[in-house]
Structure 1
Amino acid sequence: MATRRSSGRPRRDAALEALTPLAPRPVRHAVFRQSWRDVVFLHWEADPFEVARLLPPGTAPDLFHGRAYAGLVFFRMEDLAPGPVPPLPYLGVFDEVNVRLYSRDVTGRRGVVFRSLDCDRLLPVLTARAAFGLPYRWARTSRRWYGDRLLYRSRRRGGRGADARVWLDVGPGAAEPGPLGEFLTQRWGLHTRRLGRTWHMPVTHPRWAFRRCGLLDASASVFAAAGLTPPAGDPVSVLYAPGVPVRFGAPALLPRTPPSAGPHG
């Protein structure tokens, strides 16, 4: 991985974390636990320089064959629980839509940077923003199955006009994500900005089991609200998974580094 000295010359001082179907480091003591159900991943190519400007210091765009990607992810949150306590009733169950980018940090770890996370439970929104610096927003979200077709919809509250929708046909057979899908979904941490510093939070879950699916329709004005150019055309990757249980570990500070001028490596 390339970082930059103050002179602007690139240096390579950390091994880039490998893309693996399972997390390279287990989370032994979970800060919180949850389950993701009916997960839909939509991805479009993005301008790497635009992405670089939106990432926290100490991270750079993680590129796939020189290209950056922005994701729109829908899922049903269940069994949300802090630490070892039992899952929270009502507050721990909601639909979520997030806009995310892909990062790598100065230690070589790959991650996700969330530009927005919309859900319809106000208390989790306020808690995640205060405790972890995550950009949660209060929204009206819904999920409904119509036979083998899945519909997610979200619209942000407060008249901000940020909405998202996906209409998906899900088949019974297994699907392979391919190299790009693996790059976009085999992520074992997130990067976030809080208290003026950049943090890395590890994530672990079982390997994904993707199913065949076909996109019927999608819209995403949340991209513009997240500071990104709205996507043009169909997504380059569409994936569906029934779900996984997830564990988040304690966040750790990244070392301070000089700012990067843009995507590299």
Structure 2
Amino acid sequence: MFSRPSNRLLEMTWEDGLFIHWPVEPDTIASTLPDGLSVATHDEDAWLGIVPFEMADIRPVGSPIGRSFPELNLRTYVDGPAGKGVYFFNLDAADRVGVQIARRLFSLPYYTAEMAIDRSENGIRFQSRRTEPSASPARFDATYRPTGDVFTASAGSLEAFLTENYRFYAHGTRLYTGTISHEPWPLQDAIVNIKSNTLFEAAGFTHSSGNPHVTYSKSIDVSAGRPKKV
């Protein structure tokens, strides 16, 4: 079993997660980061990732009742005062209450969106349309499915760099950091057909035309700690 953080605040399960990543020049990312953070690289590349999944049964520690909703984030990887972690450019979610709580507790850039997850023998179709009036419009529509056996990422591998991250940073009135805890990701190679994606443009990036690095994970249990000021 994974070791839960002593200051854990939330417990949840992440289901049908897809990691889609594109390599980018480190300078492209560096200019977007707040003071105190620097670009983390793997083989001299920075990475922009899109991660759609279902946030299932998210609940305060000790609560028997949870909420479930789809979520979609655009992220990169950084080095900060507490070590390597994830930096989110945006997180869209189909739950107005969840968005408000996440903004208040985690200082994360959550936005409301209309979303749908359709599971069939052809794969998982994830659709999102941002509805947050204060944010740039953004759409995402992709169908994906696993294609290989389950594996865990080897230490030092690109898969480990992109998925095995147990800390996040957020910038509200100042820089915050928080922790999550879970077993190593059970990953599978995957294929994805992206019908629509304007998340890059909404965040001020030019979309890469290259083929992305793609992995899938069926399900993982997660604990999240209370964030703190850096």
Aligned to 2:15: 37
Contact 2:113–2:131 (CA under 8 A) maintained in structure 1: yes
- Within 1, Cα distance between the matches of 2:153 and 2:141? 22
Aligned to 1:140: 114
Aligned to 2:91: 117
Q: CA separation of 1:33/1:26 partners in 2, compared to 1, >3 Å: closer, same or farther?
A: closer
- Within 2, Cα distance between the matches of 1:143 and 1:48? 33
Task: Using the TM superposition, give the Cα deviation of residue 244 of structure 1 relative to its aligned residue in structure 2, in angstroms.
Answer: 0.6
Query: Residue 40 of structure 1 aligns to which amino acid in structure 2?
Result: L
Q: Which runs of 5+ in 1 are unaligned?
A: 1-21, 255-265
Contact 1:36–1:244 (CA under 8 A) maintained in structure 2: yes
Contact 1:30–1:84 (CA under 8 A) maintained in structure 2: no
Task: Using the TM superposition, give the Cα deviation of residue 230 of structure 1 relative to its aligned residue in structure 2, in angstroms.
Answer: 1.9
Counterpart pick for 1:191 among 137, 147, 169: 169
For each residue in 1:171-225, what CA deviation from the matched residue of structure 2 results, as whole angstroms up to 9, or x when unmatched?
3622565611111001011001122x21110110111111232223353201111
Counterpart pick for 2:197 among 193, 206, 220: 220
Contact 1:169–1:216 (CA under 8 A) maintained in structure 2: no
Percent identical among aligned pairs is 27
Aligned to 2:220: 244
Aligned to 1:128: 102
Contact 1:148–1:170 (CA under 8 A) maintained in structure 2: no
Say yes or no: does 1:80 pair with 2:58. yes
Match runs of 1:1-265 below 5 Å:
26-88=4-66, 92-107=67-82, 109-157=83-131, 160-171=136-147, 173-175=149-151, 177=153, 179-195=157-173, 197-235=174-212, 237-254=213-230
Contact 1:56–1:191 (CA under 8 A) maintained in structure 2: no
Query: Residue 182 of structure 2 aligns to which amino acid in structure 1?
Result: H
- Within 1, Cα distance between the matches of 2:166 and 2:152? 19
Q: Matched residue of 1:54: which SS? A: coil
Once superposed, what is the RMSD of the aligned Cα atoms?
2.1
Query: Residue 93 of structure 2 aligns to which amino acid in structure 1?
Result: C
Count, aligned residues: 226
Query: Residue 85 of structure 1 aligns to which amino acid in structure 2?
Result: S
Greater fraction of residues in strand: 2
